[in-house]
Amino acid sequence: MSFPIVRPRRLRRTEALRRLVRETHLSRDDLVLPLFAVEGHGVREAVTSMPGVFRHSVDALVDEGKRVRDLGIPAVILFGIPAEKDARGSGADAGDGIIQRAVAAMKQAEPDLCVMTDVCLCEYTDHGHCGILEGDEVLNDPSLERLAASAVSHARAGADVVAPSDMMDGRVGAIRAALDGASFEHIPILSYAAKYASAYYGPFRDAAESTPATGDRRGYQMDPANAREALREMQLDLEEGADALMVKPALPYLDVLATARAEFDVPLAAYHVSGEYAMIHAAAERGWIDGDRAMDEALVSIRRAGADFILTYAAKEVAARLAP
């Protein structure tokens, strides 16, 4: 049967009908808000390239945690920006480091909020690479020890989930072993499994002061041209003990997300990254697009492609729009 008997438009006539046949829903339950922790007191510093995003001192993060909870957002992911950086990224696993203090303060104020941490060295190293640097080479195996120590220190501070984003080989296994060895066998690993060497991280690197001083990240992050390799990365991370997998960025890699959805039964996350967020706000500011609608469309598309949850800087604005 076909037209004129079949008319798909019949089910699009009213909003009530459209609601009934809608296949994908975006809910507050699907959102994770990224937050940046900086030193100081009473700091709430705007990130210029990301309207609505701020760098907060620990005390200000606690207030932010309350707003996040009131909006019904279940989780945040924290990034620490230390005052001092060095070659080995000592701040990454310091017991009293910025991220460790931020986690502890947020968990104390909001015990029910899920606090995830980004595990990486780039915010803490003076060269800005995600691992230990020798000449212009980012060393894999010596970096694992540092990453594992960071993850354990985050768990010790009270993190509910650790999320390694460095793209070193074997980091999930190393982190799992270190967590288990420190009696954190109950802490899940959300692996940034398919993380691409993307141009869309620009605004984040301004916010996190993590632009590499020399070279780029193409020796460890994935080539944007590769999809099969992403599945292999995900498979390896599952074998090493990852509890959930992430694809990053989101919109340019919806194909990877959709294939991963068909292939794996673990929870899948997508990171709607800084550049994706900034583009929508920039165009909306110029009056070129309806920013709210473009944001909702981006996020529902990421869900449609197969993501269970989304890390997005738009979590608060979207949660405020969604009815409870």
Give the residue numbers annotated as catalytic, written as ranges.
195, 248
Nearest Cα to Cα of residue 253 among 302, 219, 308:
302
Bridge partner list, 247 = 194, 270
Q: Which is nearer to ligand PBG, 32 or 68 (CB)?
A: 32
Q: State the Cα–Cα distance between residues 263 and 120, nearest whole angstrom.
A: 27
Question: Per-residue contact track with ligand PBG, 208 to 247, x per CB under 6 A?
Answer: --x------x------------------------------
Q: Which is nearer to ligand PBG, 216 or 263 (CB)?
A: 216
Q: Is 273 in the site for ligand PBG (CB under 6 A)?
A: yes
Q: State the Cα–Cα distance between residues 210 and 58, nearest whole angstrom.
A: 20
For tokens 């000592």, the residue is: 90
Q: Is 189 in the site for Zn ion (CB under 5 A)?
A: no
Q: Is 274 in the site for ligand PBG (CB under 6 A)?
A: yes
- Contact criterion met (CB below 8 Å) for 153 and 94: yes
- Shortest reach from residue 15's CB to Zn ion, in Å: 44
For residue 40, the number of C-alpha atoms closer than 13 Å in the C-beta half-sphere is 15
Candidates 26, 122, 230, 295: give the one binding ligand PBG (CB under 6 A). 122
- Shortest reach from residue 48's CB to ligand PBG, in Å: 15
For tokens 């959102």, the residue is: 31
- Contact criterion met (CB below 8 Å) for 241 and 153: no
| Torsion sign over Cα 158, 163, 164, 165 | negative
Q: Is 130 in the site for ligand PBG (CB under 6 A)?
A: yes
Nearest Cα to Cα of residue 144 among 123, 170, 118:
170
Q: Which is nearer to ligand PBG, 184 or 204 (CB)?
A: 204
Q: Is 204 in the site for ligand PBG (CB under 6 A)?
A: yes
Question: Per-residue contact track with Zn ion, 106 to 135, x per CB under 5 A?
Answer: --------------x-x-------x-----
Q: Is 165 in the site for ligand PBG (CB under 6 A)?
A: yes
Q: State the Cα–Cα distance between residues 201 and 80, nearest whole angstrom.
A: 16
Helical H runs in the chain?
15-21, 58-70, 98-109, 141-157, 171-181, 202-208, 228-239, 254-263, 274-285, 291-305, 315-321
- Shortest reach from residue 163's CB to ligand PBG, in Å: 8
- Shortest reach from residue 319's CB to ligand PBG, in Å: 18
For residue 158, the number of C-alpha atoms closer than 13 Å in the C-beta half-sphere is 18
Q: Is 120 in the site for ligand PBG (CB under 6 A)?
A: yes
Judged by beta carbon distances under 5 to 8 A according to partner kind, the member of ligand PBG, Zn ion, none in contact with residue 118 is ligand PBG
Judged by beta carbon distances under 5 to 8 A according to partner kind, the member of Zn ion, ligand PBG, none in contact with residue 280 is none
Q: Is 69 in the site for ligand PBG (CB under 6 A)?
A: no
Query: For binding to ligand PBG (CB under 6 A), which residues are involved?
Result: 118, 120, 122, 130, 165-166, 201, 204-205, 210, 217, 273-274
Query: For binding to Zn ion (CB under 5 A), which residues are involved?
Result: 120, 122, 130
